[in-house]
Amino acid sequence: YMIENAMVSGLCAAGMDVFLLGPIPTPAVAMLVRSLRADIGVMISASHNPYYDNGIKLFGPDGYKLSDEI
């Protein structure tokens, strides 16, 4: 949970409101970003890889995943 704590701390320090949703499927993040009218959604997941290969997926306000180049 170190990545989660670091992200939450940084986003809160930048003045953002953060909702921690716990373990949920990635598509749920996309749906919730739209339904909650959030500015961004963040998913921390290793997908099918081992837990130490965690990655971060960002979703825009339209619920679509942002490009990996961002």
pLDDT tens digits, 34-70: 999 999 999 999 888 887 888 899 999 999 999 987 7
CA–chain centroid gap for 24, Å, is 11
Residue 7 has pLDDT above 80, yes or no: yes
Residue 1 has pLDDT above 80, yes or no: no
Q: What is the mean pLDDT of residues 4-16?
A: 96
Q: State the pLDDT at residue 15.
A: 96
Residue 31 has pLDDT above 80, yes or no: yes
Q: Annotated catalytic residue: which of 9, 35, 45, 47? A: 47
Phi, psi of 47 (to 5 degrees): 55, -125
Number of residues that this document lists for the chain: 70
Is 45 a catalytic site residue?
A: no
Q: What H or E segment, with its residue span, contains residue 58?
A: strand 55-59
